[in-house]
Amino acid sequence: MPEYSTCRQYFCSKLNFKTMMNQMNNTDGYRRELREIEDRIKSIVGPPDHTGYIRALDGLEPETLDTLENLLDDRKHCLNCLFRSTDGEIARFKKLNDPTTVYPA
């Protein structure tokens, strides 16, 4: 599988623009992509030790560290898209955070 620096590059390489936009609004697509990214991260980092911590990454090759960094960026992008707020949610949060709003006791 070729390396992609962002999920957007991955989706652009697979789909035309209209399909890409539909896919980007599809949380199942992001969840699937997130699982694939996390599986690749786990394959690089390895399992946690008996204390629950992962091993130090000092011994990895620079290319592997670059790949890991790209995967972590992709993971961040997918998570941001999964937790993207709607216009209604933004309006609700603005109302909740407005200091002039008075709520009934």
Query: Domain limits of the chain?
Result: 7-97
Dihedral of the alpha carbons of 75, 20, 2, 38, in degrees to the nearest 10: 20
Q: What is the pLDDT of residue 38?
A: 93
> Look-up: residue for tokens 């399992």?
47
Coil/strand/helix, residue 93: helix
Task: Write out the chain's pLDDT in tens, 105 residues.
Answer: 445 445 555 555 544 545 555 555 677 888 888 999 999 999 988 887 788 777 777 788 889 999 999 999 989 888 887 887 778 888 888 888 888 877 676
The percent helix, strand, coil of the chain (3-state, each to 5) is 65, 0, 35
- pTM beyond 0.75, yes or no: no
